[in-house]
Amino acid sequence: MVSIKDIARQAGMSASTVSRVANGKKHVSSDKRQRILQIIEETGYVPNKAARAMVLKKTSSVGLVIPDTFNIFQRQLFSIVERSLESFGYYTMFFFSKFEDISEEHCLNKLKAENLDGIIMLHEMQNAAFYEYLNKTGIPAITATFRCPGIPAIHVNEEQAAADAVNHLISLGHRDMVMISGDGFTFGRQRAEGFFQALTAADLTIEAGRVVFVRNYTAEFGMYGMRELLLRRGGGQDFTALFAATDELAIGAIRVLQDAGIRVPEDVSVVGFDDVDISNYIIPRLTTVRQPIKEMGEQTAWALHRIITGGGAIAEDQILPYRLIIRESTRAI
């Protein structure tokens, strides 16, 4: 088996220089890097991860806890986190979980079996044992998009962002509003709370049946939620605006409205949340709350790297800025 010393001998360079190139590090001249990479390709050398871990007492492995089924926002965030971790030299291991006890327990057991340098949670668990494990072991961990006591979190102010979205509708003259949200995960409840807070502050009546909670945050459930709202209103539309807890919910709802001959935004204005890529391409283009997905992903990876490498403590709660992006799906009445 070819070793790093064999590569160094053939290249006429030090083993440390070869190691930097093999592990994607900087500070090696382009001609040396090219020579080393050529020899690595010719010899078929593969860095021995296990041996490196024994020497450094670190595995350079980070676990990503992610949902069994991605929505568009999670897919975009996951991609940025993974690329950012790779730029720091980490290997990523994926731990999938559904929002149910058995799946979460299985995910936790798999995670315990690995020797990880850190954990990033892009999926909120309902099983308290998961967070007890993180706090008890002291393994470096970060949550993204939601908060967990004792663990640094990177997110936006969900309630305020939702309230700002509803206030935009109020500023356009809308008084009869409905909402579609999910019945799972903290962010859904926080966005619903922001909806209620904005209506209360504007002295608007909150009627029963104005909010539908669905099981997931996808376009499919947005369609289901809008059908339910229309059914509750006697099969017709007696509202002028909709706030949806995610862009995908909004997109599904718009499809049902259009199929029913209800125009967006002429008859109903619609606001979403997240500003996923597709929101700028649907017809009409969606007014939405923009989460800083790229910044969130990069900061999540950086914060974990800082903790792992002993760079110092970071704030437990890092709140990132958001923006209301006004497009074609809302209008004044």
The stretch 233-241 carries a mean pLDDT of: 83
Judge residue 304's burial from the number of C-beta atoms within 10 Å of its C-beta, 0-12 exposed, 13-18 middle, 19 or more buried.
buried
Helix (H, G, I), strand (E, B) or coil at 182: strand
CA distances from 303 to 74, 110, 151, 320 (A): 19, 24, 12, 13
**Structure confidence at residue 322 as a pLDDT band (50, 70, 90):** very high
Q: What is the DSSP string of 236-264?
A: S---SEEEESSHHHHHHHHHHHHHTT--T
**For residue 172, what are its two tokens?**
């356009």
In the chain, where do the E strands start and end?
A: 61-67, 91-97, 118-121, 141-144, 153-155, 177-182, 211-214, 241-244, 269-274, 287-290, 317-319, 323-325
Helix (H, G, I), strand (E, B) or coil at 269: strand
Instruction: Determine the pLDDT at residue 243.
Output: 98
73-107: per-residue pLDDT in tens? 988 999 999 999 999 889 899 999 887 889 999 99
How far is Cα 131 from Cα 150, in angstroms, rounded to an integer?
9
Instruction: Say if residue 61's pLDDT is above 60.
Output: yes
**For residue 66, what are its two tokens?**
């992610």
Instruction: Determine the pLDDT at residue 50.
Output: 43
Instruction: Determine the pLDDT at residue 24.
Output: 63
Q: Which of 174-178, 202-206, 313-317 has the highest mean pLDDT?
A: 174-178
Instruction: Say if residue 289's pLDDT is above 60.
Output: yes
**Structure confidence at residue 332 as a pLDDT band (50, 70, 90):** very high
Q: Which domains does the chain have, with CATH numbers?
A: 4-47 (1.10.260.40), 56-156+293-322 (3.40.50.2300), 158-290 (3.40.50.2300)
The stretch 276-301 carries a mean pLDDT of: 96
The stretch 40-65 carries a mean pLDDT of: 65
Instruction: Say if residue 27's pLDDT is above 90.
Output: no
Compute CA 56 distance to the chain's CA centroid, rounded to the nearest angstrom.
31
**For residue 274, what are its two tokens?**
């997240």
